[in-house]
């Protein structure tokens, strides 16, 4: 998996870059953020004008309904402020490493095509 600063990701528009920076800041304020990984068409470079930015959020926090709802709220606010299409998924980092309650094809896909956004 590659690791890049948001500014160096050429597949993102300026609005998308600003949205990721803003979301990352809000994630750090609300969760114990470990990694933020962009995956999907924007990471692969085969996106089109209708593509969203797919993000995997890995945190130390347990994955609960409250955590997922908070992520949705933060994401919605950033989407509205930046007019950038984000789609985030959150997982507990330990469970991610141990492949516990994780879809392995999904994880393998993220790890092979993903771009870790430097925190």
Q: What is the count of structural domains for the chain?
A: 1
113 Cβ contact list (under 8 Å, min separation 6): 39, 40, 43, 44
Cα separation, 74 vs 3, whole angstroms: 24
Read off the pTM. Answer: 0.94
Nearest residue to 85 (alpha-carbon basis) of 61, 51, 112:
51
Our measurement of the distance from residue 75's CA atom to the centroid of its chain's CA atoms, rounded to an integer in Å, reads 10
Residue 119: its pLDDT value, please? 64
pLDDT class of 81 with cuts at 50, 70, 90: very high
Cα separation, 12 vs 26, whole angstroms: 20
pLDDT digits (tens, 9 = 90+) for 29-72: 999 999 999 999 999 999 999 999 999 999 999 999 999 999 99
Domain ranges, residue 26 = 2-117
CATH number at residue 17: 3.30.460.10
């Amino acid at each position: 998996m590659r690791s890049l600063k948001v500014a160096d990701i050429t597949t993102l528009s300026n609005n998308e870059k600003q949205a990721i920076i803003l979301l990352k800041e809000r994630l750090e304020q609300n969760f114990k953020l470990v990694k933020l990984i962009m995956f999907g068409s924007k990471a692969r470079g085969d996106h089109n004008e209708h593509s969203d930015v797919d993000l995997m959020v890995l945190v130390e926090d347990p994955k609960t309904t409250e955590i997922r709802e908070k992520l949705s709220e933060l994401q919605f606010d950033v989407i509205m402020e930046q007019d950038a299409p984000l789609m985030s998924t959150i997982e507990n980092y330990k469970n991610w490493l141990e492949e516990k309650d994780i879809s392995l094809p999904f994880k393998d896909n993220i790890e092979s095509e993903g771009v870790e956004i430097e925190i």
